[in-house]
């Protein structure tokens, strides 16, 4: 089997998601840093990996995959244990509903490319960017808080799903903005705290990546 390589930025939430999934599936992989703040995602070398010019990019089983959720679902389909989606069709839909509240409704609006466009096209300063960022997280978290269970350690059921994999990185992003009062979201905080105790999650945390000490 060919070597598995994850190209990504250590603080990228999409890269973080993929690290969690790789860890959960017990897959050994090497990482290759693509520094977003140094514009390394737009180099010819990285664009040759995938025309999107984004991170992460995953090389696995002789294939190259872009988009973090495509990677995670590929891992779940090719390495079915532990499963990341319930067997019941409605519960699978519910997990995807929870997951997409972050992946589709929060993350794209707060991605580095979106923030850079706000600066370049609309001359948004740091304060305006922070207000924008916080608005979309708080809006999305208010939705999630109502959808999540009031007890338990996971977004749904008694084991990790796709929803948990995307939740933890988004909470990490939210903690970077002190104007966001996370105490308003006790269900999110309870689940996040429980998940971060799981080795696959803690090993994937940005602060535990080799690049973190080099910043």
Architecture of the 89-201 domain? Up-down Bundle (1.20)
pLDDT of residue 215: 61
Listed by start position, the domains of the chain span 5-82, 89-201
What is 5-82's CATH topology? Answer: Glutaredoxin (3.40.30)
Percent of the chain with pLDDT over 90: 96
Consecutive H or E run containing 8: strand 5-8
CA atoms within 13 A on the CB side of 55: 28
Predicted confidence (pLDDT) per residue in 174-215, tens digit: 999 999 999 999 999 999 999 999 999 999 999 999 888 776
pLDDT of residue 214: 74
Answer with the residue of higher pLDDT: 37 or 146.
146
pLDDT of residue 211: 86
Average pLDDT of the segment spanning 46-65: 96
pLDDT of residue 207: 96
Q: Please state at what angle helix 162-175 crosses helix 13-24, rounded to 10 degrees.
A: 140
Q: What are phi and psi of 9, to 5 degrees?
A: -105, 135
Q: Say yes or no to pLDDT of 84 above 60.
A: yes
Average pLDDT of the segment spanning 22-36: 96
- Contact, 22 vs 8, CB < 8 A? no
């Amino acid at each position: 089997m060919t070597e598995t390589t994850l190209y990504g930025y250590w603080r990228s939430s999409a890269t973080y998601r993929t690290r969690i999934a790789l860890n959960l599936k017990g897959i050994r992989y090497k990482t290759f840093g693509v520094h977003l703040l140094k514009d390394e995602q737009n180099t010819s070398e990285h664009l040759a990996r995938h025309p999107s010019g984004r991170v992460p990019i995953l090389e696995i089983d002789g294939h190259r995959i872009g988009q973090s959720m495509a990677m995670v679902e590929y891992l779940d389909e090719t390495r079915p244990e532990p499963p990341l989606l319930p067997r019941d069709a409605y519960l699978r839909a519910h997990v995807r509903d929870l997951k997409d509240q972050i992946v589709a409704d929060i993350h794209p609006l707060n991605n580095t490319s979106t923030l850079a466009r706000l600066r370049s096209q609309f001359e948004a300063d740091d304060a305006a960017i922070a207000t924008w960022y916080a608005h979309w997280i708080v809006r999305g978290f208010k939705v999630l808080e109502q959808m999540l269970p009031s007890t338990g350690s996971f977004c749904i059921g008694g084991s990790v799903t796709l929803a948990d994999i995307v939740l933890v990185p988004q909470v990490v992003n939210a903690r970077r903005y002190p104007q966001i009062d996370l105490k308003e979201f006790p269900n999110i905080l309870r689940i996040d705290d429980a998940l971060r105790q799981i080795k696959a999650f803690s090993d994937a945390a940005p602060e535990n990546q080799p690049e973190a000490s080099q910043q």
